Amino acid sequence: MSGQRFIDYQAEDFYRQKGWLLGGGKCGGKAKGLAYAGQALKSSALSEKVKMPLISHVVSTEVFEDFLDRNGLSGIYDDDDWENVKARMATGRFSDALKADLSRILRDFEPIGSPPLVVRSSSLMEDSVDLAFAGKYDSFFSANVGGQERQLAKLEECIRDVWVSTFNPSARKYRTKHGKLHRDESMAVIIQSMVGKERGGLYYPKLAGTIFSRIFRRPSPRIRKEDGLMCICFGVGTRAVDRGAARSFYLTNPALRPSGNSPERIAGSSQEFFDYIDRTAGELKTAAVRDMLPMLSESHKDLDRYIEFYDEDSDTLLPYSIYSAMMKMRPLVSFPDFHKRQKNLFSLTHDLIALMEERLGLPVDMEFTYDTTDEDFRMVQMRPLTHFKEMSRVEIPEIPEQDVVFRGDRMVSNGRLQHVPYLVYVEPLKYLSEWDPSGAALSVGRLNDQLKGTHYILAGPGRWGSRNPAIGVPIQYGDIYNCGCLVELSAPHFNFNPELSYGSHFFLDMDSDNILYLPVFAGQKNNIYASDWLDKSEYEVGSHPAVRVYKGDFFVYLDGESEEGIVTRGTSA
């Protein structure tokens, strides 16, 4: 697979012919992928089964560059003070000509009911087939309500926010790490009609998700890498690409739950919040499923396909059919038996993967929405899936158990690190008792900069990069990208558990940078978490009391065939 056809494809003509291209510049990577997918679908047997957003206007890179020039901001590429960058960009003004063009764009959405708008980044570097750039730049939502002046002001705000994200610290660090010059980047913007329906003043798709045509990190060698993976969430798709609680379906065996089948584990890895556009307030909001259950029950007659209840007292799962407004049990968006009830979606996913891989000549990453009632499938994004350069099988040496710091038995891909001089560890109890999650994240980020080039090992409780600091340290990828191996540790008494769902932006970045990953489940067979050794050994404390740095001679061995991975100290093979 070379992907040369995609690399050579010029998408600007596609948007220009539809009257959807603003400016004479480039349309960027995301817009290119969407146009390429649309052309591929048009000439295929899937043309009636897979649709695109009704409208996708593109504000080209020329408009972005003109904005910088007109406002004296061209030198902003050299400003690495993020707060100053945001302040300077806020002073920039849109020209009257640009405002007139944006007003025209807004009128294009009126015949289809002025739906909410998704304003997405589409930078030049997002065109890369070698680097992920996943989640480096931001997308924003406009409820698209109120009079023309209010709609235009919100659209301007969203476009400006996308442009500002060009210079965010995570993107700057990522470009620097991969030898890219900041000034070689430029930002186009896609303005899409949001797919979904309005229900009681709330606008959202029933389901949103991602599809990956290849899997580079498997929970079991019985999962075929080439079969792909689908991750889905209820509501707006922001939760499908974060380290949250999207449901992962490995297409080799959709019944497999990577986190396990016990009710407690299902409850710990299931979605309990969803995102939507509040058309009255005019903004993106988040709600607890529990709080919105009466409305959801009224609006969705097939809610049993998504929700079941968890009784914490008896540690049991109960079907949605028992729902009563007086219930106190936790509703979980766990998609019970979903693969059996939605065979059309799984069959369509299989065919779509085959088509896009054949037309692109590369593994693919797609984002979509789906309505289970009318089987309406909409592709909203398509791009090459960054390759993970997995090593050949690694033979794990015989290591005395007292020298093993961590051992895990799932989600392991082949990899080896030798003579690593530093292990950074976030101690769970201290992290909770000295409650300052942002301080802990900042401490890790500082060490990441200091330890550049060492391929240090980073270990900590729960899910690294989670939006919820109660289940993991809320770092950004730019805070950990210099590490060579990331270890996620369970601490069940504190509600910390690794997140095994491949497919988040976080995992895509790790694939792009070939960072090894090892989840460890304390107390489970074939898992070791040497907390006694960690407590008794000498270490230095970082700028947060929970963050420790151990100096030594560490080794990492991961073997995907035997499903075994270890981090060991002072032992070579």
| Euclidean distance between CA atoms 422 and 554, whole angstroms | 7
Residue found under tokens 């895509």? 508
Q: Is the torsion defined by CA of 432, 433, 437, 440 positive or negative?
A: negative
pLDDT at 245: 73
Residues 6+ apart with CB under 8 A from 472: 243, 460, 461, 462, 463, 464, 465, 466, 488, 496, 499
pLDDT at 573: 42
pLDDT at 562: 83
DSSP E strands, 213-298: 229-234, 247-250, 273-278, 283-288
Give the Å distances, CA to CA, from 154 to 163, 214, 412: 14, 38, 45
211: nearest Cα among 351, 51, 365: 365
The mean per-residue pLDDT over the stretch 484-498 comes to 85
Q: Is the pLDDT of residue 175 over 50?
A: yes
Q: Is the pLDDT of residue 255 over 80?
A: yes
- Residue 279 DSSP code: T
Q: Is the pLDDT of residue 271 over 70?
A: yes
**Phi/psi class of residue 536: alpha, beta or left (left: φ > 0; alpha: ψ in -120 to 50)?**
alpha
Residues 6+ apart with CB under 8 A from 168: 82, 136, 137, 138
> Strand 457-461 vs strand 415-426: parallel, antiparallel, or unpaired?
parallel
CB contact at 8 A, 495 and 471: yes
Annotated domain spans of the chain: 4-194, 202-340, 401-569
495: nearest Cα among 461, 454, 543, 534: 461
| Euclidean distance between CA atoms 404 and 27, whole angstroms | 51
Q: Is the pLDDT of residue 501 over 90?
A: no
With bands split at pLDDT 50, 70 and 90, how would you rate the model's confidence at 477?
A: confident
List, edge to edge, every strand of the sheet that includes 117-123: 21-22, 56-59, 187-193, 117-123, 140-142
| Euclidean distance between CA atoms 180 and 51, whole angstroms | 35
With bands split at pLDDT 50, 70 and 90, how would you rate the model's confidence at 325?
A: low
| Euclidean distance between CA atoms 567 and 520, whole angstroms | 11
pLDDT at 372: 92
* In this structure, CATH architecture of domain 4-194: 2-Layer Sandwich (3.30)
- Residue 340 DSSP code: H
Residue found under tokens 């995102």? 275
The mean per-residue pLDDT over the stretch 229-253 comes to 83
pLDDT at 266: 86
- 96-109 vs 148-165: helix crossing angle, rounded to 10: 110
Residues 6+ apart with CB under 8 A from 17: none
DSSP E strands, 498-546: 516-520, 528-529, 540-541
For residue 551, how many other CB atoms are within 10 A of its CB?
Answer: 12
Residue found under tokens 């922001």? 238
Average pLDDT, the chain: 90
- The pLDDT tens digits for 184-222 are 999 999 999 999 999 989 999 999 999 999 887 777 777
- The pLDDT tens digits for 62-114 are 999 999 999 999 999 999 999 999 999 999 999 999 999 999 999 999 999 99
Question: What tokens were used for 331?
Answer: 């509703």
Question: What tokens were used for 348?
Answer: 């369509």
Q: Is 296 exposed, middle or buried (0-12, 13-18, 19+ CB in 10 A)?
A: buried
Amino acid at position 54, single letter: L
CA angle 111, 117, 123 (to 5 degrees): 125
DSSP E strands, 173-251: 187-193, 197-199, 202-204, 207-212, 229-234, 247-250
pTM of the model: 0.87
Q: Is the pLDDT of residue 508 over 60?
A: yes
- Residue 469 DSSP code: G
